[in-house]
Amino acid sequence: MTADFIIVGAGSAGCALANRLSDNPQNKVVLLEFGGTDIGPFIQMPAALSYPMNMSRYDWGYESAPEPHLDGRRLALPRGKVIGGSSSINGMVYVRGNACDFDTWEEMGAKGWGYQDVLPYFERLENATSGDEGWRGRSGPLHVSRGSLWSPLYEAFVKAGEEAGYARTEDYNGYRQEGFGEMEMTVHDGRRWSASNAYLWPIKGRENLEIISGAHVNRVLMEGKRAVGVEYMRSGQLHQLKCTREVIVSASSINSPKLLMHSGIGDAAALSALGIDVVADRKGVGANLQDHLELYIQQACTQPITLYKHWNLLSKGVIGAQWQLIKSGLGTSNHFETCGFIRSKAGVKYPDIQFHFLPFAVRYDGQAAAEGHGYQVHVGPMRSKSRGAVTLQSADPMDKPNVQFNYMSHEEDWEDFRACIRLTRELFAQHAFDPFRGKEIQPGSDVETDEQLNGFIKEHVESAFHPCGTCKMGDANDETAVVDSECRVIGVDGLRVADSSIFPQITNGNLNAPSIMVGEKAADHILGKGMLPASDKQAWVHPNWQNEQR
């Protein structure tokens, strides 16, 4: 079997690539995915989001190595092993990122990836039901919606932000990110609108697109310095698939560098030590690993207006039945319906703290709910200076890689997290919460000093599941870069990487939207059809950010 293009990974970027590359019937495209079908209520029902990320059927089951700055804790790292990839198991929060994120990418060597370059691709991918006119896409494949704000706590959170001196933003994905407002989600007609629902299933009849699930890609086949195909395992059988044009790796920020290293592309000394033949010495492969960490700040609620009243089998059954029958009710939301983006201090140019508000006091994985009614924010810094790495444990491609984030290795990380806790407490103390505020559940009002807060952070901080950066995009002369500005792997031919692993620096917010954008833009690079015309829009930046925090 021979393809023109082989795409490894049916995740956020891979699904977009499969759609765009197969749009021309002359292009034979094969999409390989290790996971299986995304059909089923655990994935498709938005409110069930805590289930698929904890099911081995849908999740690779990765975790961090013992983290030295967190007392050796191993942190969970769910990654989608299913059609749709992590967009099929994530929290469905839709955040483009801040305009300054992409301008920073360009400054770091990713030419042509500044905000005005990527904005047209965000518009192309979106079908947003609301938001700033002229800034949002209305006819793209990815449906973006807002919640019903069924609990008065949602508005209380936004109002508290205003009372604390922050602004309200009508669209954090439009002209102005900074402020408090409604959060957007990838939900459509009551269903999770994953990358597969947006990009794959509408075109499943294309004869020039073949989707092979259950395929574990072991390595890229190289002839000299040129990628000519892939080797993969399926149902216990080893297969080789050749291509005439290119192999595109969209296997995630964990599996993309892993695949490159097993293919002989990476740090030459480390590969040689494992007995892997070196094709290209690229020391940046697997390095530059970044993530967002977050804490759950929880407050008891004095009124029965939270999701806690539905935390029982009967209520869950009713919600599930209502969703199954008519796709309505509480099952249709991820329940992160309001949010905030603020700057931690004066002198920070654009937001570096994100809040997800939830009218429930519970862990993200759904494993532990507070006793009684409560509400919480997930809060954390957006631009930690800590960097980790993905490395190989052995030359066996079936072995899991070693993932060491090196979380909290900078003193600024501790300072930033203490600021997150104190700024959140200030929000929860505003008049808007007076009718609802009970005791502070977590950290607890007795946790006050820097030392006490550091202890709480060390014990309770969790990943927000936003790993990226391990195949950094940059200038071809940058020894730490893995791909150039057209996503081509530096030092070889016929091979590209297009997913969150190419981010030079982590973006502000959740990573699904910018990952899909990478797939959209990479497709135009691969097809050689020229880029969409750059925008002339300038996003909002606080006019006195040097001197004011809000």
Q: Concatenated DSSP letters for 364-417? A: TTSS-B-SSSEEEEEEEES-----BEEE-SSS-TTSPPEEE--TT-SHHHHHHH
For helices 115-125 and 512-527, angle between their N-to-C axes, nearest 10 degrees: 100
| E strand or H helix that includes residue 418 | helix 411-428
Of the candidates 464, 353, 359, 358, the one whose C-alpha atom is nearest the C-alpha of residue 407 is: 464
Angle, to 10 degrees, between the axis of helix 411-428 and the axis of helix 152-163?
110
- Active-site annotation holder among 188, 262, 378, 466: 466
351 has pLDDT over 80: yes
| pLDDT above 90 (res 384) | yes
68-87 tens-digit pLDDT? 999 999 999 999 999 999 99
Mean pLDDT of 11-23: 98
For the cut 80, the answer to whether the pLDDT of residue 36 exceeds it is yes
The chain-wide mean pLDDT, for the chain, equals: 96
Local confidence band at 311 (pLDDT 50, 70, 90 cut-offs): confident
Assign domain 2-66+75-527 to its CATH architecture: 3-Layer(bba) Sandwich (3.50)
Digit-coded pLDDT (tens) for 104-146: 999 999 999 999 999 999 999 999 999 999 999 999 999 999 9
Beta-carbon contacts of 132 under 8 Å, excluding residues fewer than 6 positions away, are 170, 171, 174, 175
Whole-angstrom Cα distance, residue 126 to residue 448? 43
Q: Dihedrals φ, ψ of 63, to 5°? A: -145, 160
- Is the distance from CB of 333 to CB of 192 less than 8 angstroms? no
Q: How confident is the model at residue 364 (pLDDT cuts 50, 70, 90)?
A: low
At residue 368 the predicted structure's pLDDT band, cuts being 50, 70 and 90, is: low
Residue 466 catalytic?
yes
Given a contact cutoff of 8 angstroms between Cβ atoms, the answer to whether 46 and 287 are in contact is no
Integer Cα distance of 301 and 56 in angstroms: 35
What would the pLDDT profile of 408-421 be if each residue is shown by its tens digit? 999 999 999 999 99
Q: What is the largest CA-CA distance in the chain?
A: 69
DSSP state of 361: -
